[in-house]
Amino acid sequence: MSWIDDGLKRQKEASIRREKISGNAPNLYQELWQEIERCVDEAKKGGMRLHCERYLYGDTTDREVRLSVIPSPTQSSANPKTLHVTLSDDSHSIEITRDSGLLKLDVDISVNGVPLLKHAGVAVSIPKAAQLILEPFFFSV
């Protein structure tokens, strides 16, 4: 094989990989959202005032969690904290926007061909990803 053949092979493999990632991203997003809803329900049972918005602006890939905030003694009211969970346009990442900043989870394919999420280059389970997203949102001071 020549270097051109090698390059064409790598290019085709990369294209197939991108297609697999894009094809599996919506399912991973849905699994993650279901875990987030489960955690929100558990936190609500513990007394947290939370609400999940499943179809924000009619979009199934941009969802929101709101946490009611108790106003300080000098405030008459306080805006809720919000967390947005969005599947990126190219379907290669899930982006979480919250008061403390942006968190990005990459959608990837393992060496065995299994779709997975990664944080900072390390594979994370769906429950761990939900914890990474929600723990600072629920418990920041």
Average pLDDT over residues 71-87: 81
Name the average pLDDT for the chain: 88
Q: Which helix (H) or strand (E) holds 94?
A: strand 93-98
pLDDT value of position 51: 80
Helices (H), the chain: 3-45, 126-139
Mean pLDDT within 63-90: 82
**Burial of 90: CB neighbours in 10 Å, binned 0-12, 13-18, 19+:** exposed
How far is residue 13 from each of residues 2, 57, 58, measured CA to CA in Å?
17, 36, 35
pTM for the full predicted model: 0.84
pLDDT value at position 58? Answer: 63
Give per-residue pLDDT as tens, 94-118.
999 988 789 999 999 998 989 999 9
Quick one: pLDDT at residue 36? 94
Task: Single out the residue of 90, 88, 89 nearest to residue 104, CA to CA.
Answer: 88
Mean pLDDT, residues 111-138 taken together: 94
For the stretch 3-61, pLDDT in tens is: 999 999 999 998 988 888 888 889 999 999 999 999 999 999 998 888 877 765 666 77
Number of domains comprising the chain: 1
| Segments forming the whole domain that contains residue 12 | 3-139
CATH of the domain at 7: 3.30.920
